[in-house]
Copies of this chain bind each other. A is one copy, B any other.
Amino acid sequence: MTIYNFSAGPAVLPKPVLETAQSEMLDYKGSGMSVMELSHRSSWFQAIIDDAENLLRDLMKIPENYQVLFLQGGASLQFTKIPLNFAQNKKALYVNTGSWSKKAIQAAEALDNVTVEVIASSEDQNFTYIPEIPANVDQDAAYVHITTNNTIEGTAYQSIPNFGKVPVVADMSSNILANDYNVEDFGVIYAGAQKNIGPAGLTVVIIRDDLLGESDISAPMLDYTLLAKNDSLYNTPPTYAIYVAKLVFEWLQEQGGVAGITAQDQAKSKLLYDAIEASELFKSPVRADSRSLTNIPFVTGNDELDKKFNQEALAYGFENLKGHRSVGGMRASLYNAFPVEGVNELVTFMEKFEAENGGK
């Protein structure tokens, strides 16, 4: 039985990446050591982290005036670090588009000296759409925070709104490298690695230089300026996760870079969205103009039928297809490494299920 892993993260990785990691596990390039055993101060590891940075810069066309950091703590720790570094004694704007946006907002609100203003929200309709941004946002705000893709709800911005001169801080955890963004549209981009980059435990943060160095941070590990000055080596970084990320970046280059993989992602998601549209049983809970390429929820509208579908899907070899408890139904996460064959099989499986279980 072929297993297809639809997990929202940690998620499927490219098979050639795992094969390389496997072959190099006991002896990295003749060093006699595993990558896990390399000192983070060694020239072996320095080459790995340098390569990872250069590959990511190349893939995303990151300009020289942006720092690229390989950190720990996930997006969740950045939720605190971002207001701490950029908005102390200032106002920060947030767009509330889902569970993760809410957590980012709550983390900022928990800080005494940060004023948080939510400028738009889609909470009124269970986050099933991307809300319109008001025309005139406060141009003195420290930043505006958006979640480019909402993993749980399956929504995504189709384009980055214009916020004037306010720096855009983007949680890109679930669609970094799956969308040909212009980095210069952002002040800060951050992403947990465990969806499109590599293993959990690594967080990539990309920061425009002029945003650094302004704040008084009472905790060294929360201070982006200090971490940037030390080139992500202020303390021991998650070395093995950085190595796997480097392998993923190399694989992405072989896929034609971000443009190449985005074309693949668009084709994969179209297969599934077309099947949902053609179906009389399955529906997308997401408004048509707000749909994500990477996280695609769908429901039958009948909890019992959803349950039956999920049971049969699991037995068939579709792992982690069950929807998040806050949305229900099913959710297919089609990240970069998810093979198109798996989408084709899912579509066939859905058609068969519909034939057997009738339309509504």
Contact = CB atoms under 8 A, between A and B. Distances in A.
Interface in A176-228: 192, 194, 198-202, 218-222
Contacts of A106: 220
A97 interface: no
A341 interface: no
A74 B236 contact: yes
A52 interface: no
A281 to B, nearest CB: 26
B15 A21 contact: no
A57 interface: no
Interface in A4-34: 5, 7-13, 15, 18-19, 21-22, 25-26, 31-34
Interface stretch (A36-44, A162-170, A270-278): A36-44
A219 B107 contact: yes
Contacts of A202: 201
Interface stretch (A238-246, A261-269, A284-292): A238-246
B72 A201 contact: yes
A319 interface: yes
Interface in A47-78: 72-77
Contact of A12 (B15, B37, B111, B237): B37
Interface of A: 1-3, 5, 7-13, 15, 18-19, 21-22, 25-26, 31-34, 36-40, 42, 72-77, 79-80, 103, 106-107, 110-112, 192, 194, 198-202, 218-222, 234-241, 244, 317, 319-320
27 contacts: A7-B37, A10-B38, A10-B40, A13-B36, A18-B25, A18-B26, A18-B34, A21-B25, A25-B25, A31-B319, A32-B317, A36-B199, A72-B238, A73-B73, A73-B77, A74-B221, A76-B235, A77-B235, A80-B222, A107-B219, A110-B219, A110-B220, A112-B218, A192-B236, A200-B237, A240-B240, A240-B241
